Copies of this chain bind each other. A is one copy, B any other.
Amino acid sequence: MVEAINHSTTEVVCCEPLLDGTLLAEEAEQLAAMFKALADPIRLRLLNVIAASGEGCACDFPAALGRSQPTISHHLRILVDAGLLEREQRGKWAWFRVREPQLNAVMDALRPPTPVR
């Protein structure tokens, strides 16, 4: 279906504010795509484990999370495509780091529109 997936960056910093009544159909699509990337327990645990130590090697995840190597690779791809992880090749190993700006962008969409208090 997807003819040429951008497997790396996804420089779109989606995420219009969710609660202020300005969310258009297309923006909702983009935001929903971000949430979809977060809507799986294995992917959340990948983010969690990687963020905890700053970075993580793909080689450790199948044993740590109890999923096969293809399954882990599949989930890592989804997180990278969503812009939530960045991938770096070191020798024959693949290392991943969390892209916190993208995570913050998702968080901002949930923030209520009450700028003053």
Contacts and interface: CB of A to CB of B under 8 A. Distances in A.
Copies in the complex: 2
A78 interface: no
A25 to B, nearest CB: 7
Return the 4 tightest CB-CB contacts between A and B, nearest first. Answer: A21-B52, A28-B41, A19-B51, A23-B48
Interface residues of A, number: 37
Contacts of A32: 38-41, 43-44
A29 interface: yes
Secondary structure of the A side of the interface? Answer: helix
Contacts of A36: 35, 39
Interface in A95-115: 98, 100, 103-104, 106-107, 110-113
Max chain B CB contacts within 10 Å: which of A48, A103, A107?
Answer: A48
A31 interface: yes
